[in-house]
Amino acid sequence: MIVPQKIYYPLYEDKEKFIILITGGRGCETPTQEVIMSDLTVKQIKDIKVGDFVMGDDGCPRKVIGTMRGQSEMFRVQQTSAEDYFVNDAHIISLRKSGDSIRDGRYTAYPEFLDMRITDFVNQSKRFRDRFRGYKSNSIPYIEKYVNIEPYLLGVWLGDGTSMFPQVTTADFEIKDYLREYADRNNMRLAINGIRGNAITYRLAKNGGLTNPLMDALREYNLISNKHIPQDYISNSENVRLDLLAGLIDTDGCMLRNGYEIIQKNEKLAKQIKYVADTLGFRTSINKKLARCNGKDCGFVYRVFINGDVWRIPCKISRKKINKDEVRKNKDWHLSQLSIESVGMGDWCGICLDGNQRYLHSDGTVTHNSGKSFNASTFIERLTFEMTESEKIVHQILYTRYTMVSAGMSIIPEMMEKIELDGTTKYFKTTKTDIVNKMTNSRIMFRGIKTSSGNQTAKLKSIQGITTFVCDEAEEWTNEEEFDKIMLSIRKKGIQNRIIIIMNPCDSNHFIYKKYIENTHKLVEIDGVQVQVSTHPNVLHIHTTYFDNLENLSPEFLKEVEDMKVNDPDKYAHVVIGRWADVAEGAVFKKWGIVDEFPIWCKKVAFGQDFGYTHDPSASIRCGIIDNALYLDEVDYRTGLLSSDIIKTLRPWGLKVIADSADPRLIQEIHNGGIKIYPVEKGAGSINAGIDKMKTMEIFVTKRSYNLQKELRKYVWAKDKDGNYINEPEDHDNHAIDAARYYVLGELLGKIQKPKDYSGIFGR
């Protein structure tokens, strides 16, 4: 049976308060597990800190909102097509339905992707475990940036180049032709520096000038006598990474069973090659082997195997090109059958994320962070046993998060974990969306307030008789009106009604702060930090910190916290202790307000339009000004939109549109759809120019602008390698903000591209 922490005793003792506000986490993987960060670098999970961004399963960043450490029973997860990893007994694994299940119509009640507690997965039938598998992500998109050495050439040099000089040894005419063409394009000479059998060593020599530009670039990337893949080539577009792989395969690789094998003596380079292939969505593995040369041992080599849709790799050597039509695909290389075994007690580390809480191991394996709110969930479970003796009234508990994707399949396992630990499993049954107490018929219903597309969940409107409303991850809520609608519907007589709000303190613009804390609070000192605790007469406020869980925290974690306390006291106060911040740390926009509606008397009303590419959302923001105030209204914010969808959104408004100019074709299509659209001038300094102008104005955002408000809270200045803020914002959480910035640049600063720049786009 679970014994609640002492700080949670008031949950069970207070029978009067209607509002329960819990501000305050858990973890799940072995501390050395490597995780892909949002910039395609890699960190061990123990080194990830609050405020970092990891890469999500959809190629978008996930912000780390909490980190935890502890010790418990650990399990080894063995994968047939990816690397093994270790997790604790509370870990949530991410699963994907196999093609066999889809083809034969089995498990139709389950979504294609689902998250399940590892111990629950072990207890499923063999057929279920065969049909639901671990999976790797698809190719991870990333912005393209300039590099000083063509990626294919770098791959060739890493494979067959001389480590101290800009020269390559090859017997293949395709590489020779490429080197000659490269030399011609770059005003260099291709010189022969030696011949050994059929192989010729070619040197890319300077053709006049003081220095060799290729040699300079090799030095700049610290590659001389130090072969490795610079991070600039990893944190780059898919095309750059594919070209790099092509160069490596054309030199050090060979075809092997519809895939490739690359052999390297350099362990670091071999592991980097595998990682690049992992970020491109390929199936990979690496083996260490003792090599023999002329019958003698000549040291260890590393064999990197790459399979999957490898026809995407643009090799130049004819015999190494793989034709898509000739590959017999007999399985989905992204999927892995899982086998799980206990390995005893061990240390674990975990992270809590925003969004759908999925992130990627370094090999691309998709996984899920473990849930927080442990004590609150246990209390909710025990509420289901509460029943009035005379009227037999039981609880109908609505458990919500603002947005949910397959939420029942992730939250239900988390809740069932608490039920199992509490020793009451036999009293409960589950459906896809609910947990039912069979003894009392109480029900916990799991719902999202909004769907992933931003529409209100239809099922929520029909739920009647709610006695308890649980608002989890309430920092994600921005619409007070929707919160109030549910709150006011909770009026079941004969049993105690409750609203339970679980959240990480964010900034003082949030309506929960304004509603229950701003004007009714006391200051409580926790480790030298003044924390706002609600004194609202209808609120029971339980504020937790790591001091309430000291016995489960590692010395390393405590040292990290102490270092933060000394080096960054403001961050320590907000992130660790939980003081409500006036603004997010490093926020670009520190002051903005929320209004009910977009004022009808606004002037210069027009749309700012940001276009989504790949996984990014397109954002349509209605903008206008009154005196020196900028008003913003989120009209559309969705992924996967075609130009026709954007036209449908914009045309009924009849307003001018000022848009991202990156894609003239898209501008043309929208113009042809009857929209008066203008591309904004972009270039050096344009981002800061727009931001600077916006910061001179008062900014007001409509209540319904959920994603815009979310971005304003998360849009922060970037930091240099020493952790100091620089005058450049981080390039994420900015789609709606970019749309507003385009409006400011075009409408207020006159930075609109002239029609002649896009001949034929604008009619006169």
Encoding tokens for residue 261? 């094998």
pLDDT tens digit string along 159-169? 999 999 999 99
Range 580-613 burial, b when 16+ CB lie within 10 A, else e: bbebbbbbbbeebebeeebbeebeebbbbbbbbe
Encoding tokens for residue 579? 């003081």
pLDDT of 472: 84
- Does 628 share its domain with 670? yes
Task: Give which of 496, 491, 508, 448 is closest to 473, Cα–Cα.
Answer: 448
pLDDT of 55: 93
- Does 362 share its domain with 378? no
Which residues, 6+ apart, have CB-to-CB distance to 365 below 8 Å? 79, 82, 83, 85, 134, 135, 136, 137, 336
Contact between residue 473 and residue 401 where contact means Cβ atoms under 8 Å apart: yes
pLDDT of 20: 83
Encoding tokens for residue 435? 């947990």
Angle at 380 between CA 378 and CA 384, to 5 degrees: 115
Number of structural domains the chain divides into: 4
- Does 316 share its domain with 171? yes
- Does 82 share its domain with 171? no
Is the pLDDT confidence value at 100 over 80? no
- Does 600 share its domain with 500? no
pLDDT tens digit string along 479-515? 788 888 888 888 777 788 889 998 878 777 788 988 8
pLDDT band, very low/low/confident/very high, at 409 (cuts 50, 70, 90): very low
pLDDT band, very low/low/confident/very high, at 458 (cuts 50, 70, 90): very low
pLDDT band, very low/low/confident/very high, at 764 (cuts 50, 70, 90): very low
Answer yes or no: is 513 within a domain: no
pLDDT of 593: 80
pLDDT of 477: 79
- Does 381 share its domain with 358? no
pLDDT tens digit string along 214-269? 999 999 999 999 999 999 999 999 999 999 999 999 999 999 888 999 999 999 99
- Does 349 share its domain with 363? yes
Q: Which of 378-382, 407-411, 654-658 has the highest mean pLDDT?
A: 654-658
Answer yes or no: is 13 within a domain: no
- Does 109 share its domain with 123? yes
CATH code of 221's domain? 3.10.28.10
Report how far apart, in Å, the C-alpha atoms of 748 and of each of 628, 693, 744 are. 11, 9, 5
Range of lowest pLDDT (420-424, 661-665, 685-689) = 420-424
> Which residues are paired to 240 by β-bridges?
none
Domain that includes residue 69, residue range: 34-133+335-368
Burial of 390 (0-12, 13-18, 19+ CB in 10 A): exposed
Which residues, 6+ apart, have CB-to-CB distance to 652 below 8 Å? none
- Does 754 share its domain with 610? yes
DSSP state of 387: B
Please tell me the distance from the alpha carbon of residue 487 to that of residue 94, in angstroms, as a whole number: 33
CATH code of 362's domain? 2.170.16.10
Which residues, 6+ apart, have CB-to-CB distance to 272 below 8 Å? 228, 229, 234
DSSP per-residue letters across 126-165: HHHHHHEEEEB--PPP------SS-HHHHHHHHHHB-TTS
Contact between residue 741 and residue 755 where contact means Cβ atoms under 8 Å apart: no
Q: What is residue 701's three-state secondary structure?
A: strand
pTM, two decimal places: 0.54
Report how far apart, in Å, the C-alpha atoms of 16 and of each of 6, 138, 313, 441, 497 are. 19, 51, 66, 24, 9
- Does 224 share its domain with 254? yes
Please tell me the distance from the alpha carbon of residue 135 to that of residue 358, in angstroms, as a whole number: 12
- Average pLDDT value for the chain: 84
Arithmetic mean of pLDDT, 432-456:
77
